[in-house]
Structure 1
Amino acid sequence: MLPPAPARAPRDTDAAVRSTDSDAAQARLSAISKGYLFDQFAHHLVPRARFATPRPPLINHGTHVRATALDTLVDEWLVAGGVDVKKQIISVGAGSDSRFWRISTGPLKDALHAYLEVDLPENTLAKAMAIRKSKELSAVLGDNVTLTLGGQGLESPRYVLAPVDLREDPAQTLQPFVARGMLDPSIPTLIVAECVLVYMDRAASDRVLRWAANTFDVAGGLVYEMFGLNDGFGRVMRENLLARNVQLPGVDAYPTLHDQAARFRQTGFVTVQRALSLRTIRATHISSEERARIAQLEMLDEVEELELVLAHYVIAFGVKASDPESPFASWNLPAALPVVR
């Protein structure tokens, strides 16, 4: 009689999605190395960063538009009402993002009251280890830092990293940070979701945004993701992702720019709802000075291909502020994004 077959380990269905953070981090490192972006902290959060393979100019240009627009919108949130008005930021699916460190060592550091990052446990474990290993990252947090949940989380007075599955009920996963006082409902709070909600179904992603709108007196939402994948280009993108076992259960829920803006109204961000493609942002919001600087970095032959790619990525944002005179009610992307220095 043959011995029983060994139990098969359960399939890690999230592994492919988690790997997309590595792709984004590698693209960011490439853009930094070429001078498109400046970030002294990113390499501390990416394993073997010095061996990162440079990306082609098309990827570097796209990364520049994405990062510049998102960073500017976050900065505009922090300056709304003045830097003496404290704000909070919740970064969901944060991955290897370095934004907390860039803010905390920059001119807007005094506007930040608290910064919460959440992601799947495997990602937060890796990030917590990277933070503790890096003197530069740890120095920004100060001495009062505690590892939590067996190393999957990390807490300091102003920054918290925690493992959270966003597909679960935010009342159980995110609300505890309010209940224990880490997040203050009376402080204007921005929730940032960079290429994360598209990997969830509509019901789950809407719950996350609705929780933020319902929890904070003044709430902002900022979403970056791919959209409009029902054309030829989009079908090829889906096929390429499926070949890597990456699915996009949320991409068909908001297929147009109008839909992307409307998602904020539907989830409680009733004051402001806006959505722009990266193609529009590159054409109408990147300053002529910055475009000239970028043009000197690398020759870009695939301009039409770049515009096609950028037309399938959106930055959408919304605000809930009960006072129509609130400075947050005018939160928007400036006409000319600043030159990266």
Structure 2
Amino acid sequence: MNRREIELAPIVHVLGARPNFVKAAPVIDALAARGAEQAVVHTGQHYDERMSEIFFTELGLPEPDVNLGVGSGSHAAQTAALLTGLEQEFTSRSPALVIVYGDVNSTIAAALVAAKLQIPVAHVEAGLRSFDMTMPEEVNRRLTDQLSDLCLVTSPEAVGHLANEGVPVERAHLVGNPMIDTLLRNLDAFDTGRVRAGLGLPARYVLATLHRPANVDAPDIAAELVGHLHGVADLADVAIPVHPRGRATLLAAGLDAHPRVHVLEPLGYIDFLAAVRGAAAVVTDSGGLQEETTILGVPCLTVRPNTERPITITHGTNRLVTFEELVPEARKALEGDDPARAERRPPLWDGQAGPRIADVVMEFLGEYGAAR
């Protein structure tokens, strides 16, 4: 492409799962304010309305230009469908830049296709590392960063991870966290009282979300986790919107057998964050929820041996727990004994990450076009 062609070609955002939508909204808005031509490709990796379509409505995202509808499947089958669909899409659109988000299969597939077609790639949330290669997300994020021309970083330690892996320093840009932009923009809409009444929850409850393969795929492990969740429910009601991943296994393990466990359908963004905001504590294995609770000031117990978001521990409300630690740590959180809680926010988690990303992207495209 010459410079004029780059100016006319679209910036293509590839979105596949709930966290992608939340991160993309402020970036799309900020680029639109700068007059950028854009297109949104929804891969359909999350295909349930409450897991995808509702987020476009609630977050004010433009309707996707295309939905590839890849659906679920094994990692290999899903990624293969993504590669085929995205190659066709990029070939027909000739993007000036492909922007990918997070660490899902849609992210690595889009980065790989774009790199092979010699289309520049920008990765929002680059450099996060759990150092646990048994996690599919860790594989996805490491490979995506190696393929990316722009590594858009949400927290300072991620810059060091990229440098250690040989990513040239000029590719890395500390821009802040666009997921927090979306949270702060919608803060007044998080009506805890309305959501609590609608879901039949008491004034004091714990919110849980669990979907990681290591926690929910094996029936014996899921059963052990459910037993500890029942122990938390002995302390306070537990509300758990059940992710499609692991639903059958968790229910087979007796998740709903405790009278104070409220098994819910997946919630939209506004209702979910309203429920989080009103919770006495959160139990999760999600990455993004560690960040959201940090800003909302809600004690967060992350049922994982590691986190790619350590800043939520040093600057926020998060702590890592084993199954055996879950009940005693929940008791401490419910009693208000939460030494991990901090008043300060991580650097640049200020609601302005979207505009900073747009500035980096527009400067990059100007320089890229001038060099062609």
TM over 0.5: no
- TM bucket normalised to smaller: 0.3 to 0.5
Structure with greater helix share of residues? 2
| TM-score calculated relative to the size of structure 1 | 0.35
